[in-house]
Amino acid sequence: MGSLKKNGGVSGAILSRIATNDQHGENSEYFDGWKSYDKDPFHFSRNPHGVIQMGLAENQLCLDLIKNWIKENPKASICTAEGVHQFSDIANFQDYHGLKEFREAIVKFMGKARGGRVTFDPERVVMSGGATGANETIMFCLADPGDVFLVPSPYYAAFDRDLRWRTGVETIPVHCYSSNNFKLTVEAVEWAYNKAQESNKKVKGLILTNPSNPLGTMLDKDTLENLVRFVTRNNIHLVVDEIYAATVFAGETFVSVAEVVNNADSSEVNVDLIHIVYSLSKDMGLPGFRVGIVYSYNDSVVSCARKMSSFGLVSSQTQLMLASMLSDDRFVENFLIESSRRLGIRHGVFTLGLKKTGITCLTSSAGLFVWMDLRHLLRDRNSFESEIELWRIIINKVKLNVSPGSSFHCTEPGWFRVCFANMDDDTLHVALQRIQDFVSKNNNKIVEKTSDSDQIIQNNNAKKQKWRQGNLRLSFRRLYEDGLSSPGIMSPHSPLLKA
């Protein structure tokens, strides 16, 4: 057997343009950070100086609840003595519509995750291999190669792969800015739409993430209503990726586009243009299960997407177990409450630790990450080259995999997405300590350049900072203990309290 050839050569000549085009986006800092982690992963005993993964938006804070449910419900799995009697039925071929009990359970969970203010129809559920497959499927259904979707920026770095790579669809950013906390406005969408039209681009739709990845912010009801009117007026599609719907831990209530559709005047909304992408990867912390959902109000889209779902079905074994789990009302309600509470505590601990080093973040109320402002650490505040220089230092010296804002198509250098829910408490403390040490060293360099009179002031501040750092671990521990010592307390931002 011959050896594998690298780029070019005979191998390159016999591969398709789809397989070899550069739209995957793998050659970006977002994915490069993951590669750095994979080469040198942090471990407390085996590799304490390795890279800590803070580029993965994964929710590991409530996996203990899921493990306990599995132990208490062995019949839900065909791989246990209690559930093996179902093996033959589930192992046989299943229709790509999906198990009826799974579709019914998933829409029930979607309703609960949105505070019970909306209901969903199981007949409109189309399965896919995670949100990645769901987003690609909806693009295949709605657009032809060369057609355009508008995407508010900063946006999820892997959208370049999910939306464009195999579909040939183009994306045009709708730029948002820090001057108004990156808030999306209809005026910005309209401007981007008109510019695309002027360039003879065929705009087929607008795709949003709500809650936002990477910002952790949510769209208010008025903005959503105006966006629905905008797409209806211009006869383009609106796709809303709501995979972080149940990660809300503070601020206002999450508003699903489904609420807007259900309550809007029929003359102001064309429901055939509205589609939702959902997944259990973030809300339940189950990305490995590859459960993605396309939910469309358009009958033709449901029919087409269902045909395409043959290429990315959720395994019947997974469907069976999740149907049982998501149908357990008591478990689901407790999970949603506890997840919201734990995310709120973790977010508070992390942002407090950053604040003690002089680092601020965009105010957020959902998600598994923060949008961290490091503009003051850039060599040149107006330079993306400076942002990448800083990112390389953080990866290679500080040993943290964080993602630079440029990989999310942010228009302003110096912003970074940092994930906080994919690690245990002790690893989080190590990450914060590394950040504090890094910032402290940079502050010391500034001190060396100051005058003698300023030196005295800086030394006093350094002493205060050292005292704060010495008490940091204790203050974190107190915050955790205060939050976790009252398991019966319901988070005020739990979706169940908003019902």
Domain 22-63+333-498: homologous superfamily in CATH: Aspartate Aminotransferase, domain 1 (3.90.1150.10)
- Count the neighbouring beta carbons within 10 Å of the beta carbon of residue 397: 11
Q: Is 138 one of the annotated active-site residues of the chain? A: no
Q: Is 177 one of the annotated active-site residues of the chain? A: no
Fold of 75-328: Aspartate Aminotransferase; domain 2 (3.40.640)
pLDDT of 385 reads 94
Q: What is the mean pLDDT of the chain?
A: 85
- Is 371 in contact with 415 (CB distance < 8 Å)? yes
Please check the confidence at residue 92 and state whether its pLDDT lies above 70.
Answer: yes
List 30, 156, 295, 297, catalytic entry: 156
Kind of pairing between the strands at 415-419 and 369-373: antiparallel
pLDDT of 11 reads 52
The single-letter DSSP state of residue 182 is T
Kind of pairing between the strands at 125-129 and 291-296: antiparallel
pLDDT of 314 reads 80
**Alpha carbon of residue 270 to chain centroid:** 28
pLDDT in tens, 104-135: 999 999 999 998 999 999 999 999 988 888 99
pLDDT in tens, 264-315: 777 789 999 999 999 999 998 888 789 899 999 999 999 999 988 878 888 7
Q: Return d(Cα 472, Cα 439) in angstroms, integer.
A: 15
- Which of these, 396, 420, 392, lies nearest to 406 by C-alpha position? 392
Domain residue ranges of the chain, discontinuous segments joined by +:
22-63+333-498, 75-328
Q: Residue 231 is inside which H or E element, if any?
A: helix 221-234
pLDDT of 55 reads 92
pLDDT of 448 reads 43
Please check the confidence at residue 480 and state whether its pLDDT lies above 50.
Answer: no
Highest mean pLDDT, choosing among 18-27, 32-41, 463-472: 32-41
Q: Which is more confidently placed, 480 or 331? A: 331
Burial of 200 (0-12, 13-18, 19+ CB in 10 A): exposed
pLDDT in tens, 214-230: 999 999 999 999 999 99
Highest mean pLDDT, choosing among 83-87, 115-119, 229-233: 229-233
In DSSP terms, which residues pair with 170 in a beta bridge? Answer: 148
- Which of these, 469, 465, 458, lies nearest to 434 by C-alpha position? 469
The proportion of the chain whose per-residue pLDDT surpasses 90, expressed as a percent, equals 61
The single-letter DSSP state of residue 46 is T
Please check the confidence at residue 193 and state whether its pLDDT lies above 90.
Answer: yes
pLDDT of 78 reads 73
List 108, 112, 204, 282, catalytic entry: 282
Rounded to the nearest 10°, the torsion over CA 127, 132, 135, 140 is -90
pLDDT of 459 reads 53
pLDDT of 247 reads 95
Q: Residue 259 is inside which H or E element, if any?
A: helix 257-263
Q: Is 37 one of the annotated active-site residues of the chain? A: no
In DSSP terms, which residues pair with 292 in a beta bridge? Answer: 128, 279
CATH fold match for the domains 22-63+333-498 and 75-328: no
List 52, 78, 138, 243, catalytic entry: 243
Residue 28 has phi, psi (to 5 degrees) of -135, 165
Q: Return d(Cα 410, Cα 188) in angstroms, integer.
A: 15
The tokens for 369 are 């990450």
Q: Is 243 one of the annotated active-site residues of the chain? A: yes
Please check the confidence at residue 32 and state whether its pLDDT lies above 90.
Answer: no
Region 477-483: what's the mean pLDDT?
Answer: 45
Q: Which is more confidently placed, 449 or 40? A: 40
Region 237-241: what's the mean pLDDT?
Answer: 98
List 241, 278, 293, 399, catalytic entry: 241
